[in-house]
Amino acid sequence: MPVALAFPVVQLLTWLADKTPEPKDVKAGWTAFVVFLLLIGAVVVLAFSFVKQLRKTEAARKAGVFGPVDADTQDDPSEPRQGS
């Protein structure tokens, strides 16, 4: 079977086999809505936890837990270090 003929045959078979449901048979479900709300809640909890961990890390950095900090990068870490 040539490739040029195979494509229309596959489309025809797909159209015949795949029947779409009627609009009256399709409805939005509460289960998916609840899952969506739970996912939003999980993202909010993760965001708050992330901010809390960042604050703890910054406090530990200022306390010197991670070792000595270069004087060049102590105030503004976005500036490049000298001699690098």
pLDDT in tens, the chain (84 residues): 566 777 888 888 888 887 888 888 888 899 999 999 999 999 999 999 999 999 999 999 998 888 886 655 555 556 555 554
- Enumerate residues 6+ apart whose C-beta is below 8 A from 44: none
Does any domain span residue 78? no
User: Do 79 and 71 form a contact (C-beta atoms < 8 A)?
Assistant: no
What pTM was computed for the model? 0.52
Does any domain span residue 73? no
What are the structure tokens assigned to 5, written together?
């003929």
Domain holding 56, by residue range, is 28-64
Number of domains in the chain: 1
Query: Terminus-to-terminus CA distance in the chain, angstroms?
Result: 66
Does any domain span residue 10? no
Residue found by looking up tokens 């837990």 in the block: 65
